[in-house]
Structure 1
Amino acid sequence: MVWLAVDDNGQRFLVSDSSLDPFAEALRDAAQHYGLPASLPLLDLQDKHAISFADLWGGFPGPVQKASERYRPQVVLIGRVSRSSSGWNGQWSLLGAGASQSWIVHGDTAEAIVHKGISGATGLLATQYAVVASDETSRLVSVQGINRLNDYARVQTYLASLSPVDQVQVAMVSGDQVRFSLKLNTSEQSLVKLIRLGRVLQPVTTEGDAPWQFRLIQ
């Protein structure tokens, strides 16, 4: 769940799920790129009664957590984005995943600020779920539902973007199924937790010694 407050030269507003502005579009693009579930609030009457722009801009976690309850998110990401004479500034806070973290980013465009926010959240979540392994390990992962070259590129790029993965290689192709060999720098448990957080691959089975089975979410 992402709560995003924007101050664009004095024009202040919250970004909703139905927004068509560049902020909502950039957030959806960044979330898809990093494979991170990042929904926006409806900002209907219930939300507006529960939280205000001032609550978000002031960094008060109580109203944010209360307003987020109806959505039952695993984590909550708060973004405060403002325009300055030198570009754009953003202050991001991640609530949940066993900790509360905040960071500041700068960029030339509002889109860059949003991408840096999602990127930072992805990195923090990866750190929370990472368990350092004693040796570099490998894992075979099979992905079904790869019917086009774009599907293959999407899965390979996604797997390579995950922090536990150092290297991705294709081990076998059979019909719509591709088996990837992943070289890991952390435990296998870290990898599967991150994949389940995302919206790119859906687990099919992890039983036995066979390679992990996933299906590409279209």
Structure 2
Amino acid sequence: MQRLIIIFWLAISACLLPAQAAEEVTELYQHRVQVNSQAASERDSALQDALQATLLKLTGDSSVLQHPAVTAALRDVRDLVVQYGYQQDEQLWLWAQFDQPQVDRLIQQADSGIWSTMRPKLLVWLVVEEQDLTRKLMAADSEAIIVQQLRNAARRRGLPIQLPLLDLNDTMTVSVIDVWARFMDTITFASARYTPDGVIVARVYQTEPGADVSDKWMADWTLNFGELRWSGEVTAMDKSELGAKVISAVTEELAQRYRIGSQSDVIKRWELTIHNLISLESTIAAEQLLSNFPAIIDVQLIGYGNHSARFELTMQADPARIRQAIDLSKRLQPLDTDNGAEFRWVTTQ
């Protein structure tokens, strides 16, 4: 009876929660790297690491690091640095800020694209099966190495993640068995209190003897993101590495869908309408939001009336890719129209 009461209370609470939208990731063109000293040789290596991490955050595309244009840029990495410095806390860090226009051009030369600052917030249900076949769900406060590496990889990739608290609310709603068996109705219900944009379910276990893999450990994962579904497997000799590998694989899939590539020889124009712009401030904010998307060259307000504004976008990308990026925005809600070019401005509280 107590379980039923708590589940009923959770259901009511979930209905009262506001809809969550993607989070804005900042500082995409800067990164810091742990170093042992301020020696020149170590500085150059750290700057290279920082640029690689910056490119990964911007593109979500690991293959971009192998492109000849990028390998050449890494050899002359200081040409892309705006400023750098050292930070000291428990460790010594080198912090570097890179020149945005140069980095954007480098990504274009590498035949990739830029993932906008709007990133989906993902809830990660991670269950680990140990050698003795016992299984454990990982909580938000876990200090396990696999969780630390998962968090570090998410920060490196610019992907907002959260693990469940596994407090009384969670434990009365979902069990290790539910997550291991991927009972998505139960998992989705338990996830509602965190209002994520998507849910990752990852299972870590030993590979079968004689399996066609050389690594000792494996993780299979699924990502439920709206109506979209992805899944995959990663392996490693050490299970602590699997959290980071899951994040890398998830990021590759999401970024492939949402990053926006630029084609310098193709200029396109797209008109869209935004409704519910009830003030000059909101109209200016909408124009600035559109201007911030990658591959947008210019945004012009070409009409306004009845709290609706019509904008013309000049861009180096397909409108469908811009629309996908807009779908992640907190402020623009797509409307179901034939032309697919109408949105509603969402006011913040």
Identify whether the pair has TM-score above 0.5, normalized to the shorter chain. yes
CA RMSD of aligned residues (A): 3.2
2:127–2:138 Cα contact (<8 Å) kept: yes
Match of 2:158 in 1: 35
* Separation in structure 1 between the aligned mates of residue 157 and residue 259 of structure 2, nearest angstrom: 17
Report the CA distance between 1:96 and its aligned residue.
Answer: 0.9
- Give 3-state SS (helix, strand or coil) of 2:161's partner: coil
- Structure 1 residues 191-206: aligned runs within 5 Å: none
Highest Rg: 1 or 2? 2
Question: Which residue of 235, 238, 243 corresponds with 1:114?
Answer: 243
Residue 130 (structure 2) pairs with residue 8 (structure 1): yes
2:260–2:317 Cα contact (<8 Å) kept: no
* Separation in structure 2 between the aligned mates of residue 26 and residue 7 of structure 1, nearest angstrom: 17
- Give 3-state SS (helix, strand or coil) of 2:156's partner: helix
Larger relative contact order (CA 8 Å, sep ≥ 6): 1
- What amino acid does structure 2 have at the position aligned with 1:6? V
Report the CA distance between 1:115 and its aligned residue.
Answer: 1.3
- Give 3-state SS (helix, strand or coil) of 2:162's partner: coil
Structure 2 gaps of 5+ residues are: 1-122, 210-214, 267-293, 296-315, 331-349
- Give 3-state SS (helix, strand or coil) of 2:172's partner: helix
1:15–1:23 Cα contact (<8 Å) kept: no
Instruction: Give the fraction of aligned pairs with identical amino acids, expressed as a percent.
Output: 30
- What amino acid does structure 2 have at the position aligned with 1:56? V
Match of 1:78 in 2: 201
4+ residue runs of structure 1 moved beyond 6 angstroms?
184-188, 190-197
Cα 1:133/1:114, change in 2 over 3 Å: same
TM-score, normalization by structure 1: 0.61
* Separation in structure 2 between the aligned mates of residue 54 and residue 26 of structure 1, nearest angstrom: 24
Report the CA distance between 1:128 and its aligned residue.
Answer: 2.8
* Separation in structure 1 between the aligned mates of residue 256 and residue 323 of structure 2, nearest angstrom: 9
Match of 2:146 in 1: 23
2:124–2:200 Cα contact (<8 Å) kept: yes
Report the CA distance between 1:189 and its aligned residue.
Answer: 3.7
Question: Which residue of 172, 176, 180 corresponds with 1:57?
Answer: 180
1:136–1:185 Cα contact (<8 Å) kept: no
Structure 1 gaps of 5+ residues are: 138-163, 166-183, 198-218
Report the CA distance between 1:186 and its aligned residue.
Answer: 7.6
* Separation in structure 2 between the aligned mates of residue 96 and residue 5 of structure 1, nearest angstrom: 20
Spell out, residue by residue over 1:88-134, the C-alpha distance to the aligned partner (whole angstroms, 9 max, x if none).
11000000143011111111112321111101111111133245665
TM-score, normalization by structure 2: 0.39
* Separation in structure 2 between the aligned mates of residue 97 and residue 82 of structure 1, nearest angstrom: 27
